[in-house]
Amino acid sequence: MRHILALCFLLCTVLLRESYSASSPRQKKLNEFQAKLQDNNIAPSGTPSSPPSIPKKDGRVFYPIGYGADPTGVRESSDAILQAVSDAFNVESELEMVAGVKDLGGVILDLQGGNYKISKPIRFPASPAANLLVRGGTLRASETFPGDRHLIELWSPNSQKQQKSDSTKPIIFTHMKLQSVGIYYEDITFLDILFDSSYRGGGIFVVDSARIRINNCFFLHFTTEGILVQKGHETFISNCFLGQHSTVGGDKGEKGFSGTAIDLASNDNAITDVAIFSAAIGVLLRGQANIVTGVHCYNKATYWGGIGILVKLGSSLTRIDNCYLDFTAIVLEDPAQVHVTNGLFLGDANVVLKSINGRISGLNIVDNMFNGNPKNMIPVIKLDGEFKNIDQVVINQNNVYGMSLKSTTGKLSVAGNGTKWVADFSSILVFPNRISHFEYSLYIQGGVAGGFVAHAVTNVYNNLVVVESDKAINGVVSVAVDQ
């Protein structure tokens, strides 16, 4: 009996060893089952579960953390994020938006609220693509990030980037030229992202793209541009904050602010509801048919050489509406069809008309409020240089406190007893020695002996209108002029 029990025990031991050996079919099935549970972050019953791993993607949502990106910002994450972007661009699709640009169908790159340190730009793949959302996290430049690049870059090798030496020159593209250049990215959205350039380069760079959206984003510590757009059209920037330094105004280092918050060397773009709190230039416009509305600029003050909004030569069809210029000016170079309206200019902020070739054609500055220091009496419109060719300029219906009102229209009444009345508009009119039209009336107080009095405008010069009569009378001359 003992021999039989010993034999059974030996047989069971051999069977158990066989059944749980690494090469046995049973063990292979068990290993496959456990691997499947781990892939789905499920621990087998009765065993302690390890911290769940982040998948690389869920459907068409891609997670850089799953590729090894460090959301704590301790380790470098450039390669992991670049791989996630690459995989997102490789999503299969037979559809197109703009001809030749693949429709990704709404693919999402979800940063999951991480704080990622990157040492090189997140440059989008060269293959044209559209319909992609990047959302929810922070990108911070490392101490080795190249100082002449941007944290995110959308530009194809086929695109011709503008050279840095031409960064202040106007870029004029007709719609025909835009179409011939080509569009490589379309309908790319950046949402709820903080771009911290760590004083090394810029935030985001877009070239030859159409219908790009930058919404609810924050740009900080840039030294070149927070946002730079070249060519393409219809980049919409809305509900964003941009500043080189974290400040709420009155910064002791304001004199040293540099860089440009938004540079649009492109056509048909919109900047809406944006605050720019530190930079040398708030908004630089170097393209046509752009609109800026609801923008608050309290970047580097005019006193220190800063500019709130700079419209470069050739940037026609520009509309600046309902903006708040806070101690910093709007500068218009040879403006052509430029409209500035419904603005608030605080702290001696004004509009500077800068002559490059001495031409102005089609300029409206109307219905704005100017508020400054009465001790300074800064003119609300300042000329920088001489303009020789002036056409269709309307500067009117602005209200002023503590600054010198300037307009292209004026009305004066001059009372006197004699034969000559001089209406001096030199302190009111914008342009020197230029009155295009005038009207006047003469009111004789107390009547005149001998009946009718002959009178006429005898001279118009240096913004003066001279009215004379053939008899000495006690009269009031009312004059209206425009330029």
Which pLDDT tens digit goes with each residue over 439-461?
999 999 877 766 789 999 999 99
Neighbours of 463 (CB within 10 A): 21
Task: Specify the residue for token string 């209206």.
Answer: 480
Of the given ranges (208-217, 298-307, 446-455), which has the lowest mean pLDDT? 446-455
**Angle subtended at Cα 201 by Cα 123 and Cα 210, rounded to the nearest 5 degrees:** 45
Residue 182: which pLDDT band, with cuts at 50, 70 and 90? confident
pLDDT at residue 18 is higher than 80: no
Mean pLDDT for 137-145 is: 98
- Residue 17: which pLDDT band, with cuts at 50, 70 and 90? very low
Q: How far is CA 217 from CA 189, 190, 450, in A?
A: 11, 8, 78
| Helix or strand (DSSP H, E) at 439 | strand 437-444
- Model confidence at 6: pLDDT above 50: no
State mean pLDDT over 323-335. 98
Close Cβ partners of 301 (under 8 Å, ≥ 6 residues apart): 254, 327, 328, 347
Q: Which of 206, 211, 209 is nearest to 183 (CA)?
A: 209
Task: Calculate mean pLDDT across residues 42-51.
Answer: 37
Q: How confident is the model at residue 377 (pLDDT cuts 50, 70, 90)?
A: very high
pLDDT at residue 222 tops 70: yes
Mean pLDDT across the stretch 264-271?
A: 97
Does residue 96 register a pLDDT over 60?
Answer: yes
Q: Is the pLDDT assigned to residue 7 strictly greater than 80?
A: no
In the prediction, which pLDDT does 450 show?
A: 66
Ramachandran class of 360: left when φ > 0, alpha when ψ lies in -120 to 50, beta otherwise: beta
Q: How many whole angstroms separate alpha carbon 15 and alpha carbon 453?
A: 135
Distance between CA atoms of residues 132 and 14, nearest Å: 59
Q: What is the pLDDT of residue 396?
A: 97
pLDDT of residue 159: 79
Query: Residue 218 has which token pair?
Result: 């924050």
360: pLDDT strictly greater than 70: yes
Nearest to 89 by CA among 109, 104, 106: 104
Q: What pLDDT digit, counting tens, does each position of 383-425 carry? A: 999 999 999 999 999 999 999 999 999 999 999 999 999 999 9
Give the C-alpha distances (Å, rounded to integers) separating 407 from 345, 394, 483: 16, 8, 9
Q: What letter represents residue 239's amino acid?
A: N
